[in-house]
Structure 1
């Protein structure tokens, strides 16, 4: 133990100079780090200040709120589209028409049958029969693709054509 103390006393000046150099290097490194931290902090504050002196965090929160509002409006629009789509099924969207010659003595295809249906195959068949002396029009209701009245061949044709048409 005495030998270690003697060595330390003998080389104390070198040890002090070494420690002073290490302390000076640590001080210089600390100053460099402080300057770097100040620059970084300045950049951070500038970034957090954002545009028009608005806080970046506030801007992000505002944008997240706007996104949430947009998602809610989008969901409302999707729901409304579903409602409209459901309502459209009750609108006329299947139509078929056929012109024909009801009587041989009439010169052209002046008689007609038209089927007007919705997506549920509910609607009406309107038939106009033209002859030389008069013209008669009939309307026959259709429920789920079926008429409670007898249908002519032409009426059956337009009914099937309308039922099989794409919406």
Structure 2
């Protein structure tokens, strides 16, 4: 114990000066920390203030709502697209036309056969026969590219054009 007492009496001034220097360094670091903290706090307040005096939380909520509305619209558009796509598959997409002279006594190619098919090759073949004294039009149903009824050569030709 005497040793410690002698040590402090001998070197007490140096120890006190060392402690004083450490306190001054700590005080300086504390001042630097306060200045930096104030600077960061100002930036934080500015960030939280956001645009048009709205804080960041309100902006995030607003943008999240906008995203939700956009996703809802995308889902509606997807449903609408799928509905239109299903309807389009049933619309006429393939057409084949053949004009010909059905009777020798008629001067021009006024008779015709038209094949009208959808995506699944379902539809009809319309044929119009033009003669001097009469004109006849009839239709034959087509399912999967095949007719249950016999087709004339011109009707077969129109069907092949449509299938291509």
- The question of a shared fold, defined as TM-score above 0.5 by the shorter chain, is answered with yes
User: What is the DSSP-based 3-state SS (H/G/I as helix, E as strand, rest coil) of the residue aligned with 1:102?
Assistant: coil
Displacement after TM superposition at 1:130 (Å): 2.1
Whole-angstrom CA distance in 1 between matches of 2:7 and 2:149 = 126
Whole-angstrom CA distance in 1 between matches of 2:42 and 2:138 = 87
User: What is the DSSP-based 3-state SS (H/G/I as helix, E as strand, rest coil) of the residue aligned with 1:103?
Assistant: coil
Quote the residue 2:151 is aligned against: 151
Quote the residue 2:53 is aligned against: 53
Unaligned 5+ segments in structure 1 are none
> Which stretch has the larger CA shift, 22-31 or 130-139?
130-139
What is the 5 A alignment of 1:14-163? 14-163=14-163
Quote the residue 2:11 is aligned against: 11
| Root mean square deviation, CA, Å | 1.7
Whole-angstrom CA distance in 2 between matches of 1:163 and 1:21 = 97
Displacement after TM superposition at 1:112 (Å): 0.8
> Which stretch has the larger CA shift, 31-40 or 87-96?
87-96
Unaligned 5+ segments in structure 2 are none
User: What is the DSSP-based 3-state SS (H/G/I as helix, E as strand, rest coil) of the residue aligned with 1:108?
Assistant: coil
Displacement after TM superposition at 1:134 (Å): 3.0
Displacement after TM superposition at 1:97 (Å): 0.7
Q: TM-score, normalised by structure 1?
A: 0.88
Displacement after TM superposition at 1:113 (Å): 0.5
Q: TM-score, normalised by structure 2?
A: 0.90
